[in-house]
Structure 1
């Protein structure tokens, strides 16, 4: 978030954003209420949080432990994948300056490590948490001691509670101050790690796995490809190179990440390779209808009321964004507080707004609990909203990006409108 400056005013700060910056629909519960492995949980926290709510029966079946190995195969082939040395090194197609994919070094470091810490960005979405838990389970399958975490607030939406591997999660303060090996996932900059940023800086070896064009270049071993559809794509490749079988539980996390960052396979980043990967994950036992229900098809009634208010306030500017049209709305803290809707339930609003035929760009200004406005942007491909958001202190992708600002919404839209004019 932006930091205060003299006089109490705030200016746009560097805020590294995900393309899907908030979790999907669902109410939030403390991460400490899920139930971890006994050695990772403080008993006072467990008793204070109470028992974890029971998942629907169909999801209990969905995430039931299954360790039977599923053969790893190349798309379009019935033969097992070749040895690591024969695997191509660019699964995502390469970014503007070429992807940074140090596969050999990453595999070497992980095979040599005994204990590994995994961290994803604060307020994790499906790609961040799904990728992290999938990789954590794979490393555990290699006999590694693993802990996974993310910076405060250490909470997660119910919409992601179906993901297997949550027994790996620990509170940020339980992460070693100087990890032997640390892996960051789906974080474009170290600031996005929140309270775990110091641990990343102090790690003996830091591996960065990310697909954001706004990645700042941190980390000694980098698996960064802006053209990868999701961090899950890169994690899948790393798991394959590590020689770990693709179990159903691992596939579940990867599928959640892939589906989240492709907008359920409808965004421009959806390629034939993405569908090939999705097919392999389904073959491993993933049930797409159950995943889709948890990610997109659940919401408390209060969310519908907040959505109705946001749509009623929507404004269409046909001449903005280089004449291609801008549609925008706001959701103040009071709007959601009156309906008992937490901030992190608001991501789905922009998916409704972006349907507007007359607008190339959709924008939702969401006020968080600190009073700052988090500005989510989407385009249909003709305008680079990532470039506009970077100019305002944020980041993301060409078609999905965000930034944070402390100002009145009208002033924020004025600045964004000017930035979009340059990016159109």
Structure 2
């Protein structure tokens, strides 16, 4: 066991000791939740509930949970942010920074024990106990390690929540490490309906999504000289394109744009509300995106980062182009 592995083992033991001793636990997922944060949160909460722990799970509003995530087993544990009690032990899952908790950040800050479980390289650790492993493909991998260390037998409901995190954060295993394949095999053997959940989570869109994607691709621009000639491609999804769809439908656009052969880096600017943008960045193999994301107040992984911005489309695009 090397030094990093030893530190992670100590961190895992610390998380498990706190959770095993807690009678009440609050689990917090990040704003604009994806399948990894919700799946990991519900999996940990479901395992704790099976131990007799009183658990509440929430994420910052005002956005609603996408229908596929709302159908995950254990979603009955989800409560509105204004109804969060805030128990002495609070767990933040898949949050690269406390800012990802938005209006619920105070709940974590007020906790007697705050546990951070995350896999983002930019996470400096903002809890009293931090289990942060940038080598993990997804936070669901760490959630499974916690559940195993708690000696809680996996049931198909908890396994389904974990599978949701694994299949989405690995792009349906396109960039998964061997461990993720082993985890997926274990979950599938427990009875998870992988075909159905993969279709719900990754391959199901409303008809209007086609028009939104068409407009986004029409806006695409290739900047061949960016990143020392490695190339940048970017596209814009304005608020008008997603107003009838919901914010989550624009999340898949970056995976289409990133297929551009001439560009090492792909960026999609998504207007969540007029003048307010979320920016998704993806690199293929050679560019570390974390420094760029940090410049703009965001974070993430070496090859997948994001941040928030305000202004017109031209302004937010210009801000990025000046930084690369």
TM-score (norm 2): 0.95
> How many angstroms apart in 1 are the aligned matches of 2:185 and 2:248?
30
**Which secondary structure state, in structure 1, belongs to the residue aligned with residue 321 of structure 2?**
helix
Segments of 5+ residues of structure 2 without an aligned counterpart are: none
The offset of 1:159, in angstroms, is 2.3
SS at match of 1:155: coil
2:9 is equivalent to residue 105 of structure 1: no
Q: Name which of 274, 282, 288 aligns with 1:384.
A: 288
8 Å CA contact retained: 2:242, 2:250: no
Determine the structure 2 residue equivalent to 1:183: 91
What is the aligned counterpart of 1:417 among 313, 321, 324? 321
**Cα offset, 1:414, TM superposition:** 3.4
Aligned equivalent of 2:55: 146
Q: Which residue of 2 aligns with 1:319?
A: 225
Alignment of 1:287-302 (within 5 A): 287-302=193-208
Once the two structures are superposed, the pairs formed by residues 249-260 of structure 1 within 5 Å of their partners are: 249-260=157-168
Q: Which residue, out of 39, 49, 61, partners 1:130? A: 39
Q: Specify the SS of the correspondent of 2:65.
A: strand
- The superposition leaves residues 299-344 of structure 1 with CA deviations (integer Å, 9 ceiling, x where unpaired) of 111110011111111111211122011111111112333xx22222
Say whether the 8 Å CA contact 1:205–1:220 is kept in structure 2: yes
Cα–Cα, structure 1 residues 322 and 410, in superposed 2: closer, same or farther, change >3 Å?
farther
* Higher RCO structure, 1 or 2 (CA under 8 Å, sep 6+): 1
Give the deviation of 1:161 after TM superposition: 2.6
How do residues 190-269 of structure 1 correspond to structure 2 at under 5 angstroms? 190-267=98-175
In structure 2, relative to structure 1, the CA distance for the partners of 1:310 and 1:382 (3 Å cut) is same
CA deviation after TM superposition for structure 1 residue 265, in Å: 0.7
Deviation per CA, 1:166-196: give whole Å up to 9, x if none.
Answer: 111111122224x221111011122211221
Tell me the C-alpha RMSD between the 2 structures. 1.9
Q: Deviations over 1:213-250 (max 9, x none)?
A: 11132111111111111100101001000000011111
| Equivalent pair of 2:242/2:249 in contact (CA under 8 Å) | no
Q: Which segment drifts farther, 251-260 or 403-412?
A: 403-412
More helix by share: 2
Per-residue deviation, residues 17-74 of structure 1 (Å, max 9, x unmatched): xxxxxxxxxxxxxxxxxxxxxxxxxxxxxxxxxxxxxxxxxxxxxxxxxxxxxxxxxx
Give the Å deviation of 1:100: 8.1
For 2:105 and 2:148, the matched residues in 1 are separated by: 28
Q: State how 1:3-402 maps to structure 2 within 5 Å.
A: 99=8, 102-153=11-62, 155-177=64-86, 179-267=87-175, 270-337=176-243, 340-402=244-306
- State the distance in 1 between where 2:217 and 2:9 align: 41
Radius of gyration: which is bigger? 1
Distance 1:192 1:165 in 2: 22
Structure 1, unaligned runs of 5 or more = 1-87
Contact 2:26/2:91 (8 A) holds in 1: yes
Check the 8 A contact 2:275/2:311 in 1, yes or no: no
SS at match of 1:209: strand
| Between 407-416 and 359-368, the greater mean CA deviation after superposition | 407-416
Aligned length: 324
